[in-house]
C-alpha cells in the first residue's frame, strides 16, 4: 500500500545565493541511538552492478563523479586543473550527499551513475566524512548464509557477485565518537568547498540541485535554507531540525521520500515538516511507501517486491522532480 501526501505551489523565480550565510547557527546534537543507516553491524544488501564513475580529489576531499557519456572523467583532475573541454556545456549538476556509508558504498555509486544517465548531467558525490565513513572503503563484504552463490551463464566468473551484506561490530561509544566528528561545523565547510569547485568547474551559472539519503538529506535541507540551492530531494532524511525546515519558503522546491517505519523520521516529525513546508510557501511533495523501513532507497533488499518498487519509485520520482524544476 502506498500513501501519498502532496501540495504544490507554483513559483517563478529562483537564484543561487551565497555559499553558507550564518550556516553555523543551525547546530544540533543527533539522537544517541545507533541507527541502522549509521551502524555497520546492520545488514546492508549490496545491489549487483558495476559502477562507472571516477574518484578524484577536490582539495583533500575524495569525491565520486559520475558523468554522462559525452563527458569523460579520464582527464578530470582538480588538483591539476585539467578538465574536459566541454564541461561548460553542462546546464545542471546534481550534488549527491550520501548516508553514513559514504562514497565507496557500491549502492551509492550505482545511484549516482543512474542519476547521471537519466538526467544527462554530472553527479558529484563527495565524501562528507573525511574518510570516517561507517563502512571503511577497504572492508570486505560478508556473505550471510544463502546469499553466496555462483552467477549463472558462460561468463559467470566475470559477473558481479550476488548481494552481500556488510557486517561489523560497533559499540555505542564508537558511534558517539564518529557522530561528534561529522556535526555541521565539520560537514558544512566540506560541502561548501565542493559547491565552489562545481561552479568553478562547470560555470557560475550552472544549475545545482541536491539529492540526499539519510545523513545527507539533512544537508540538502541546509543547503536550500542557506540559499545555496533551490531544488532538492531527500530520502528518509535524518537529524534535521524544524528550524532548518522553516528556512524553506517560496522558491524552494523539495521532494521527500519516506519510509512507513522509520525511528529517525517518525510520522509525527514528518508531518510537522510537511506543515512547515506548507506554512512557508515552499513547493513540495511528500511520499510515504508502505512496507518499507528507514534506508530503503539506498540499502533496501531488492529481492523484496515492496522494497524494490519503493526504491525504484523514489529514484524515478527524483529524476522527474529534477527534470521539472532544475
CA 206 vs CA 20, 203, 287: distances in Å? 18, 6, 29
pLDDT(136) > 80: no
Query: Residue 318's pLDDT is what?
Result: 97
**d(Cα 214, Cα 31) in Å, to the nearest integer?**
13
Q: What is the pTM for the complete model shown?
A: 0.78
**d(Cα 105, Cα 44) in Å, to the nearest integer?**
10
Query: Looking at per-residue confidence, does 306 or 28 come out higher?
Result: 306
Question: 326 with 209: CB under 8 angstroms?
Answer: yes
pLDDT(252) > 60: yes
Query: Residue 317's pLDDT is what?
Result: 97
22 is catalytic: no
In this structure, which long-range contacts are made by residues 85-88, counting pairs with CB atoms below 8 Å and at least 24 apart in sequence? 87/122, 87/201, 87/202, 87/203, 88/202, 88/203
**Mean pLDDT (the chain, rounded):** 78
Catalytic residue (choose from 38, 214, 230, 236): 214
**d(Cα 224, Cα 121) in Å, to the nearest integer?**
20
37 is catalytic: no
Which one-letter DSSP state was computed for residue 121?
Answer: S
Q: How confident is the model at residue 169 (pLDDT cuts 50, 70, 90)?
A: low
Residues forming beta bridges with residue 213, ordered by sequence position? 235
Q: Maximum distance among all alpha carbons in the chain?
A: 59
**d(Cα 257, Cα 155) in Å, to the nearest integer?**
38
pLDDT in tens, 83-130: 444 566 789 999 999 998 889 888 899 999 999 999 999 999 999 987
C-alpha cell at 256: 521527500
**d(Cα 228, Cα 209) in Å, to the nearest integer?**
9
Neighbours of 316 (CB within 10 A): 12
pLDDT(185) > 90: yes
The total number of residues shown for the chain amounts to 326
In the chain, pLDDT over 90 holds for what percent of residues?
56
Neighbours of 2 (CB within 10 A): 14
Q: Classify 292 as helix, strand or coil.
A: strand
pLDDT(9) > 50: no
Q: 25-29, 192-196, 212-216, 269-273: lowest mean pLDDT where?
A: 25-29
Look at the alpha carbons of 262, 267, 272, 278 in this order and tell me if their dihedral is positive or negative. positive
Catalytic residue (choose from 113, 127, 227, 262): 262
**d(Cα 127, Cα 59) in Å, to the nearest integer?**
12
Q: Classify 271 as helix, strand or coil.
A: helix
Residues forming beta bridges with residue 208, ordered by sequence position? 93
Query: Residue 139's pLDDT is what?
Result: 61
Question: 241 with 222: CB under 8 angstroms?
Answer: no
294 is catalytic: yes
Q: Classify 259 as helix, strand or coil.
A: strand
Amino acid at each position: 500500500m502506498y500513501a501519498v501526501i502532496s501540495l504544490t505551489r507554483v513559483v517563478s523565480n529562483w537564484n543561487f545565493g551565497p555559499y553558507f550565510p550564518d550556516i553555523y547557527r543551525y547546530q544540533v546534537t543527533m539522537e544517541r541511538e545507533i541507527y541502522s543507516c549509521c551502524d555497520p553491524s546492520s545488514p546492508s544488501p549490496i545491489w549487483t552492478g558495476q559502477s562507472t564513475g571516477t574518484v578524484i580529489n577536490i582539495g583533500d576531499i575524495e569525491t565520486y563523479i559520475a558523468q554522462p557519456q559525452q563527458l569523460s572523467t579520464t582527464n578530470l583532475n582538480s588538483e591539476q586543473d585539467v578538465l574536459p573541454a566541454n564541461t561548460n556545456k553542462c546546464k545542471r549538476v546534481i550534488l549527491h550527499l550520501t548516508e553514513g556509508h559514504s562514497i565507496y558504498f557500491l549502492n551509492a555509486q550505482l545511484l549516482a551513475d543512474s542519476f547521471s544517465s537519466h538526467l544527462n548531467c554530472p553527479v558529484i558525490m563527495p565524501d562528507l566524512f573525511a574518510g570516517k565513513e561507517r563502512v571503511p572503503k577497504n572492508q570486505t563484504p560478508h556473505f550471510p548464509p544463502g546469499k553466496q552463490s555462483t552467477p549463472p551463464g558462460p561468463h559467470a566468473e566475470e559477473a558481479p557477485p550476488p548481494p552481500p551484506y556488510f557486517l561489523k561490530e560497533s559499540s555505542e561509544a564508537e558511534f558517539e565518537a564518529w557522530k561528534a566528528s561529522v556535526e555541521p561545523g565539520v560537514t558544512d565547510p566540506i560541502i561548501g568547498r565542493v559547491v565552489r569547485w562545481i561552479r568553478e568547474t562547470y560555470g557560475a551559472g550552472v544549475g545545482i540541485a541536491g539529492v540526499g539519503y539519510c545523513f545527507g538529506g539533512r544537508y540538502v535541507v541546509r543547503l536550500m535554507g542557506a540559499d545555496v540551492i533551490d531544488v532538492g530531494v531527500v530520502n528518509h532524511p535524518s537529524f534535521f531540525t524544524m528550524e532548518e525546515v522553516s528556512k524553506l519558503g517560496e522558491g524552494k522546491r523539495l521532494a521527500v521520500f519516506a519510509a512507513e517505519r522509520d525511528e529517525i523520521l517518525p510520522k509525527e516529525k514528518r508531518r510537522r515538516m510537511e506543515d512547515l513546508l506548507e506554512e512557508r510557501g515552499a513547493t513540495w511533495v511528500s511520499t510515504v511507501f508502505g512496507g518499507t523501513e528507514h534506508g530503503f532507497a539506498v540499502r533496501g533488499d531488492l529481492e523484496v517486491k515492496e522494497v524494490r518498487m519503493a526504491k525504484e519509485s523514489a529514484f524515478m520520482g527524483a529524476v522527474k522532480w529534477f527534470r521539472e524544476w532544475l
